């Protein structure tokens, strides 16, 4: 009527636990990579400094337009660090710039025109 000895831990349960741990850690690294790759994570504004826009020039090089207070500065970012390219005399207003339509809008427009090839 007493409780018997505890069952020993089997190799199968340790293996399953290890595999689960590896999968969870791998998932964490995958999500971190996706957030970094698509620049989803991290604040884009701190105090009076904000990244307005950036353009990738290569795998590790890009140009960024930075707002510092009321002025804007164009900087180059690469493997060697950050280099100030030029302070802008007149701020650029990206709100009025005409951006190309999103892919969904272009696809919808293309599908409305039957027989069109472009």
Contacts of 78 (CB under 8 A, 6+ apart): 60, 61, 62
**pLDDT at position 6, please?**
65
What is the tens place of the pLDDT at every residue in 37-56?
776 645 455 667 888 888 88
Measured CA to CA, the distance from residue 9 to residue 18 in angstroms comes to 13
How buried is residue 50: exposed, middle or buried, by Cβ count under 10 Å (0-12/13-18/19+)? middle
Higher pLDDT, 8 or 40: 8
What is the tens place of the pLDDT at every residue in 42-97?
545 566 788 888 888 888 888 888 888 888 888 999 988 888 888 888 877 766 44
In 3-state terms the chain splits into helix, strand, coil percentages (rounded to 5) of 30, 30, 40
**pLDDT at position 114, please?**
64
């Amino acid at each position: 009527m007493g409780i018997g000895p505890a069952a020993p831990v089997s190799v199968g349960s340790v293996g399953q636990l290890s595999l689960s741990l590896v999968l969870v850690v791998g998932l964490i690294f995958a999500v971190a990579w996706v957030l970094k790759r698509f620049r989803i994570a991290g604040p884009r504004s701190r105090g009076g400094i904000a990244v307005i826009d950036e353009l990738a020039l290569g795998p590790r090089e890009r140009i960024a337009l930075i707002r510092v207070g009321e002025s804007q500065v164009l900087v180059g970012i690469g493997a060697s660090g950050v280099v100030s390219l030029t302070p802008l005399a007149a701020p650029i207003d990206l709100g009025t710039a005409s951006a190309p339509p999103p892919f969904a809008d272009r696809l919808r427009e293309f599908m409305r025109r039957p027989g069109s090839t472009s």
